[in-house]
Structure 1
Amino acid sequence: MAVPDYKLSAILVGHSMDVRCVAKTNEHCILSASRDRTAKLWHPEGVKDYAAIVTYKGHKNFVSCVCWLPPCEAFPEGLVVTGSNDNTIIGYSLRDGSVQIDLKGHENAVCNVKPGQESGIVLSSSWDNTARVWNVNSPQMAPLVLKGHQAAVWSTIVLGNGTYATASADKTIKVWRKDGALITTLTGHTDCVRDLSLASSETFLSCSNDASIRLWTNKGECLNTYFGHTNYIYSISVNPTLEHSFASCGEDGSLRIWQAGDCIRELRLPVQSVWSVVCLDNGDIVTGSSDGLIRVFTKDPLRYAEESVLKQFDSDVENMISASQQEIGGFKLSELPGPEALLEPGKSHGQTKMVRRGTNVKCYSWDAAQGAWAEIGDVMGTQPPSEGKTMYQGKEYDFVFSVDIKDGEPPIKLPFNKTEDPWVAAQSFIHKNNLPQVYLEQVANFIITNAKLTTLPTPNNGFADPFTGESRYVPGSGAAANVGAARDPFTGAGAYVTPSAASAGVTDERPLIPHDSYIRFDQANVKAIHDKLKEFNSRAGNSAELTTEQLEEIIKLGDLNTVASEQTISLLKRILEWPKDILFPALDITRLAVRNKSVNGQLFDTSFGPKFMEFLLSLLTPDNLPANQMLSMRVMVNAFSDLPGEMMVLAARESIAHALLCLNKLSNNAQIAAASLTLNMCVALAASSGAELTDTTLALLPVLSDAEAYLRALVALGTLLAESPNKLIIQTKIVSNTQVHNRLKIDCNNNSDPKYKKIASCSQQILRLL
């Protein structure tokens, strides 16, 4: 029999984060569950298209699994059932998404939900090491608990003989009687068992992190073991249209189709993690993956995607394979462990681990008190250097010198480009390595001699204009905010105002994207901040009130060249505990202070950083004071001045994106802050992925009425589009958003008003990239 030629049929765009599970209904529809806290129902439209007709909301955390429960006594129209990292299971009306049941009982995240054989029965499994059997006809009835595994239970099914089977991270499969008594424990897999699927009335399949698939009898005999995947296998589904056939997917970014024990077709996707697979009744195969997309593959030529879409898909796959060969810290990306490495507990507090997620690498730290791995942020990879260049810490340099500072200790690396001022490079080297200032001249002359500089470059002042990279300015040297006519928005007195965003004032019309610089808010009226801190200090209460000398030390933190002591940082932390109605000057000095390397490192380290980020996010709720909202965003914008702050903000990007989209009635300055924060996150992540931020940027653009804020959000969108390896995904998301797409078309012709000239230029470039 000829091998079926499966090809891409459709790409379903709608989720903003990983699609962790796909399932089918009895009406040829597709269900999907995502880390964006929603599930969706996709209805077939025409020959090969699908439309998202219902979005199911209600969970407070990631939706990890979804299934269709057929009609039963209590719910004659059936239920869409979801499980979440919030430890709950919710049942929804299929047609309107209204919540029908809310099942609580699991003590940890729900990994999997599936329908049972009997009417109204739902099976669930969890990170709490148990599986449960629920009867939704009697939701008040306590569920049957299957307890005995030593680690998370990833999957549960009902076998053909009516017994239950559970798959666990403890590497075993257990078979249970209907009353919950354990029958037997099946061993053979050498790593976590991730999914189970019924193969026939007498047999079932299992897949594992050991990259193998096993076929078992209901009595526990292993009939065969299949190999083909090169990494963890996450999901498996029997194909009803091919005899003895099933599909599997996993961390090697592939979908594999099997028949009679042989892998007859491998389809590589342009992602690292293919989380879930389900075979439809018409033979089509559906996948959910880490790029937030659902893909449908078919063997029917009438349902193949357009030729241009197929070519783009193939190109994206080639780019993904190429990216997987990049090296980070001497390791190939493909050689680093996947997310399941986090199932193994750390050996000591503070131990770090690099984990591959798609083309990104994330760093995690073991928190012994919590007994969990805490995400620190992204590890930035390196690309092969250009001819004549040397790669160092992810950037290309003309030279990377080895400087011997002290006998008996290894030399320190000093990177340098010929376009740099050697004195500026020397000063940066001294600050970075905490060397005495007296070394400045010696290091600068070392650079001049060894780089063989005959003419020195024209000095610049550090940071490029956020949009063109051309006009440069000295941080903090802009004109102070005009405070003469301003009044304190909360007391009605004084002359304090929160600072306006720095205006680049650039008139050249060179391309605005791609973008490789971070925005910072440097301008401030430090005297006004100082006066307001003194005024509010007296209102802080005896326990929080500081002396005049202590306030002076805090003010000094706003200077980029200040070396911050732990004592002064402790004082800054104290004023950040002031009541929220007097907090804004403390936030204002903080957003200046985090530009300083030593302050950035102490506020965003792995011990205080997560708490600090949680505090900043707490100020972004809609009921907070507008000034606190704006300055919290500006603190996070300026956090990108150094790596600790950048990593901590990126680690919280999901919560930040959610908070930004919940804000309303933003002032112009707050809009600029929100757009700048979005832009900085997009710049940081565009080259590695960026697709996850596209939805945030697209949702933000329509609510921005300030021209400067709108421009910055446009640059963010253009940066993602120009730099991301997932270009097709981003293109699809933009084109699908008719409001933004139409606005781009209108703005690209609006060259008459100088205020909108850059917006027109940026819009034109985005449309060209589409």
Structure 2
Amino acid sequence: MPYKLSATLKAHTSDVRALSSPTNELILSASRDSTTICWQRSSAGPHFTPDNVLRAGSRYINAVTYIPPTPDAPKGYAVTGGQDTIINIFSLEHPKDDPDFSLLGHTENICALHATPSGTIISGSWDKTAKVWRNFALVYDLKGHQQSVWAVLALDEDRFLTGSADKSIRLWQQHKMLQTYIGHQDAVRGLALVPDIGFASCSNDRGVVAEIRVWTLGGDLVYTLSGHTSFVYSLSVLSSGDIISAGEDRTVRVWKDGECSQIITHPAISVWTVSSMPNSDIVSGCSDGVVRVFSASEDRWMSQGDLKEYDLLVASQALPSQQVGDVKKNDLPGVEALLSPGKKSGEVKMLNNQGIVEAHQWDTATSTWHKIGDVVDAVGQSRKQLYQGKEYDYVFDVDIQDGVPPLKLPYNATENPFAAAQRFLESNDLPLTYIDEVVRFIGKNTAPVDIGAQGEEYVDPYTGASRYRSSGSAPTTAPASEYADPFTGASRYRGTPQAPSSAIIDPLNRTSRFSGLVASTGSVPLPKTLPVVKYVTFKQANVNAMQAKLFQFNEAIRNEISTSSLALTPEEITGLNETFYYLSRTTMSPPLTVSSVPTSSHISLIARILERWPSSQRFPVIDLSRLLAEFCPKAFSTPGLKETFLKTLLKASEWDSPWTLPLSKPRDTNTLLMLRTVANVFQEGSQVNDAWLSQLLENLSQAPYTALSKNLRVALATVLFNVSCLGLSSPLAAPLRNQHLRLTLGVLESETDDPEAVYRAFVALGNVVYFNNKTDNNIFDSSQISDILQCIRALPSRFKEDRVRNIFEEIATML
């Protein structure tokens, strides 16, 4: 039976770049809309509904894979990666706002993930490396490719395949490269295991050489599959052993016994990804943001009406002439040409239907011609372009002077033209005075493209438009202990979800599980961890929901006689709206330029609100401060403002009040968001004066550590870690360094059960020791070295994780 449409899954608002379909009931889809959606099959039939929406940041998600169930995760884990350079892992049993694990190590976009049944993960990145992770820690760095690693495949626990933009495929045994496979003419984009043979690979090979290659592991080319007319992006293998492929020519193709047995054309520019289910259904993800399921089982097909509607949608698309070759309208036959059968599946026939050039494709499975679109001269870029191993919508040749080869100008349609122009000029050592001319060139030579049905506007099925959380989303039903909004139960706010005590998680930030620490096996060298120089900041934002919550609170305050005098003034409302507008644009992916940037007056406005609003209604205002510290640090640059605002934050969170346990939920939430805000003050290029930092460390040391919840402890440790990063780039004065050391050692000595807080504080200490060792300044006296050694000796016995033990060994070696 031929494959026909079984289900259409709409929820994403941008391209679906990666899929995993590990069971017949579960599909994981990753998108450029910065989400991963878990789709669950309805018990009533072939339909799927969004079960969970996972948000691991604000940038594109380009890769997803699945780890089968474990005792800690009875439904398994979803593993995601993308432009944030972080690998995030979510338990599907009870997904939380924040990932259960976040793995750091890559320095550029993560574009490929694969996992073994036991949970070993391999990742590929634009940073030219692949990395292997076991027990959520780095075990092997696979280095050797000359350009981006676009495809990865774990053959077993110790053997891995990687495909790269350098046109090669490599086989690795642990961290050692065993073999290189050469044959593709462009970037290798996909790999798939072919049982009893070896593996298949696909690439950006163009035109008549757009090939899928099937290899033995020994390096022999078994056969090639030709038929795609543009880049081939993705491969998978059905349970029957048949290969399926997807590409830039809008098709999914089914290959049986070395021949194309069926072509499934999509109403989109690109089919980015394809995946097979255990029941041999096919899942595709496209540039139109839609996930589609196709089945060869008639009982899972959509209704005849739906199938006809889909065919009409495909037929209505406009095709660029580049996709189907040069077109001479007057030389084309009429519709009578469709009476003759095609010679092979995938054959494209163009005809002149009353002045309109139509493209029809022969389908061997149904022995019919299918209209796949109307041919136009062009509709913009029909193919993605690669430049230095990275993907762009356009790569222009720019002539600078006669006799000199043209320079390459890469550009994505979604990025700011000024940013692209500046990058081009700086990389080629050209004067920035040319920036306006380059921007005009980009504008003249690019145009928006709009082909295919766009995804419907996405509405979070769990939180709705009005739900506000400081980051992410979660199911509507909250634990009984959750802090509920006193005005609307449906809009309850969770500062941070609690994690099972056995989980090693970062409950606050999606970017900060320090990884790369696991026991070495055999002679494999363990990657060094110290120093860790990348600041951990809290960037997640739901600006619209935050704005709605703040103004909802304001209305409640205004309507209550006893608090009406505390309500916002018209000037404050105007200032807040300006701030929210700026943040809503800046936190987009990619960010949009806003001419009006918040200033010190906006910070002073927020401080006034914090000083007078009730404790239970301060949290969205403090969280607004967190975003301003991250995305608009210059607003705090007025002399004295940062010190004044710190005092306001500490008072608003009741930091200096008696620490009577248990802390009230409003106080715990406010304190958590205050620490997040402070952590965001420290970032690349930040300038922190000694007086402010000294006051901060003094205040932080006054809270009894045992009174802090686990979430607060991790937040405090994050601040200490960021201070250590600052000390690596801008050496701290001795009094500040001593303050930081005392507070860090205090955390390490007091922490008894939370490995994440210990690990962050431990890395903070390691950064300080590294600085001392590298600069040979001997910044520690003998008593401090004794205190450090005495403190750290106890940690490996209290926290038996390999990452803790390895940091201990690195610090002990340096001391």
| Class of the TM-score when normalised by the shorter of the 2 chains | 0.3 to 0.5
Using CA pairs under 8 Å that are at least 6 residues apart, name the structure with larger relative contact order, 1 or 2: 2
**What is the TM-score normalised by the length of structure 1?**
0.46
